[in-house]
Amino acid sequence: MNINSSLFIQCLVFLVLAWVTMKFIWPPMIKAIDERRAKIAEGLDAAARGNKSLEAAKIAAMTFEKEGRAKAHDILTDAEKRAQAIEASAKEKAVLEAQRIINAAKADAAQEIVRAKEILRDQVSGLVVAGAEQILRREINAQNHSDLLAQFKAQL
Query: Are the C-beta atoms of residues 131 and 148 closer than 8 Å to each other?
Result: yes
CA dist., res. 103 & res. 94, Å (int): 14
Q: Is 131 exposed, middle or buried (0-12, 13-18, 19+ CB in 10 A)?
A: middle
CA dist., res. 102 & res. 41, Å (int): 89
Q: What share of the chain is helix, strand, coil (3-state, %, to 5)?
A: 95, 0, 5
Q: DSSP characters for 82-105?
A: HHHHHHHHHHHHHHHHHHHHHHHH
> In terms of C-beta distances under 8 Å and separation of at least 24 residues, what long-range contacts does 62-67 make, across chains too?
none
DSSP 141: -
CA dist., res. 120 & res. 101, Å (int): 28
Per-residue pLDDT of the chain (156 residues; tens, 9 = 90+): 567 888 889 999 999 999 999 999 999 999 999 999 999 999 999 999 999 999 999 999 999 999 999 999 999 999 999 999 999 999 999 999 999 999 999 999 999 998 998 888 778 777 877 777 776 666 556 666 677 777 776 776
Query: Are the C-beta atoms of residues 131 and 152 closer than 8 Å to each other?
Result: yes
pTM, full prediction: 0.43
pLDDT at residue 119, rounded to an integer: 87
